[in-house]
Amino acid sequence: MRAQRIFLVLTALLALIDLSLVVASLAVAYRVRFETDLLPPPALFHTWEFYRPLVLAEIVVFALVFFLRDMYHVRRNTSRLDELQRVAVSIGISAVITVGLASFIQRGFPYSRSLVVLSWLLAILMIWIARLVQFRLQGMLRRAGIGSERVLIVGSGEVASAVLQKMQTMPNWGYAVVGYVADWSAEVRVSFSGNDLRLLGRLNDIEEVVNRHRIDEVIIADPALNHQDVLGIVQRLDPRLVSIKVFPDVFQLLSSEVTLSDLHGLPLLSIRDAALRGWRRGVKRVVDVALSVLVLILLSPLMLLIALLIKATSPGGPVFFAQERVGLDGRAFWVLKFRSMSPNAEAGTGPVWAARNDPRATRLGRFLRRFSLDEFPQFVNVLLGDMSIVGPRPERPHFVRQFTERIPHYWERHREKAGLTGWAQVNGLRGDTSIEERTAYDLWYVENWTLWLDFKIMLRTIVAIFRHSNG
């Protein structure tokens, strides 16, 4: 694509930097192993020249593995933790292959094993840091309008508006929306109100619009289009000049992991059902129990202090607050929290949705909610099996009934245990935010669960507690 050409030089430069860092990691590991006292003295000393064959083999294997695993493919929305995982796996594969080749060729592995392990860890760290610098540099260039993709949106309804809003909130992704095309013969359901976006033509004019406005990417964001319309767009556009993406209806496919498979050569789209089944659920439960016990032991002094402060600053009520929530398979349970509001806060109003800077919160309660300290007792719920550390946040029965009637597929989020934190929360959907969007994120988590995803959400939650205010 035209907009991607500017990043070819950066990509080539990144590949050279990666290879240099592989050599640098081996050189640093050699110095640490043989020229410092940081590790126990080696049984046998080797000069750096002895390690040159290993360095050459590592460079070749590393380059092949990184190329085959698409490590230089442009990714706009890769998180730092996901990139760390990709780098660690790629370097791990490279190290295993290199060690295997060296052992096969030389009948044994004459090199220092501690040096190899240390160089592997150093390479992961250095290359990951180089990736973060690359992402930051690319984001700066794209925000300045350099190398941006010129995008054309097909459609003018709710889905198209959601696509536009997401692109406008993420300028570092490098999308410059030029305008949109829509079928004038169809009723326009929701226009791009509040957005200065030009209508560039009708659907039948899309080829002319793409050529005239030098479009790099077409995003089809109109679920009302039938398959013949979509195929017609694909057939009229030159795949060498423009890429095409289809954005499905938010609640038809957004929560699903769609993969391409085949039936003896016949292509099929596979939509996976819930991922957390069988032995995976057992693994998740083991992690929940181990971490909740560890947290309750380590944080017990802090929790005792919080309890004493609540009693001292708000003596008219209990320390803990128990509230009925809906969990796995729609079963109700009592969630535990440190009390952050005045006693009987809902006596005159009934169930009320908690909001930022809620006036019902006590002074100490606002502090506890800001840093999510009021949630600590829920590790007891995790230990008892009512909740998991990661999962869709549980809601009260009153609101669950409302949301089930209003939001398609909302009930499916109860196919897994409720969580202390979740995919929606670490993506900024906390407190008084869109329930529809939170539901979409929750359903995606339910159908795409992995143990790594859980750990990533935990780490991002810890960062978010100190970076954002939940008050």
- Three-state DSSP at 88 gives helix
How would you class 87 by CB atoms within 10 Å of its CB: exposed for 0-12, middle for 13-18, buried for 19 or more?
buried
Domain map of the chain by residue range? 2-143, 149-247, 279-467
| 164 closest CA partner among 183, 177, 154, 155 | 177
Lowest-pLDDT range, 138-142, 213-217, 460-464? Answer: 138-142
Residue 214 has pLDDT above 70, yes or no: yes
Kindly indicate the confidence band of residue 349, based on its pLDDT and cuts at 50, 70 and 90.
Answer: low
Pairing of strands 320-326, 198-201: unpaired
Non-local CB neighbours of 86 within 8 Å, separated by 6+ positions: 69, 71, 78
Residue 427 has pLDDT above 70, yes or no: yes
Mean predicted confidence (pLDDT) in 154-167: 80
- Three-state DSSP at 302 gives helix
Do residues 41 and 134 touch, judged by C-beta distance below 8 A? no
List 149's β-bridge partners, or say none.
Answer: 175
Non-local CB neighbours of 339 within 8 Å, separated by 6+ positions: 310, 314, 317, 318, 319, 320, 321, 365, 374
Give the number of other Cβ atoms within 10 Å of residue 336's Cβ. 20
- Which pair of structure tokens corresponds to residue 262? 């085949």
Alpha-carbon gap, residue 98 to 354, rounded angstroms: 56
State the DSSP string of 401-427. HHHHHHSTTGGGGGGS-EEEE-HHHHT
Kindly indicate the confidence band of residue 11, based on its pLDDT and cuts at 50, 70 and 90.
Answer: confident
Q: What is the pLDDT of residues 81-117, one digit of tens each?
A: 888 888 999 999 998 888 888 777 766 667 788 888 8
pLDDT given for residue 413 in this prediction? 85
Q: Percent of the chain beyond pLDDT 90? A: 20
DSSP 8-state class, residue 205? G
CATH topology assigned to domain 149-247? Rossmann fold (3.40.50)
pLDDT given for residue 15 in this prediction? 86
pTM exceeds 0.75 for this model: no
Alpha-carbon gap, residue 274 to 57, rounded angstroms: 42
- Three-state DSSP at 36 gives coil
Kindly indicate the confidence band of residue 429, based on its pLDDT and cuts at 50, 70 and 90.
Answer: confident
pLDDT given for residue 431 in this prediction? 67
Alpha-carbon gap, residue 182 to 200, rounded angstroms: 8
Alpha-carbon gap, residue 213 to 414, rounded angstroms: 46
Q: What is the mean pLDDT of the chain?
A: 80
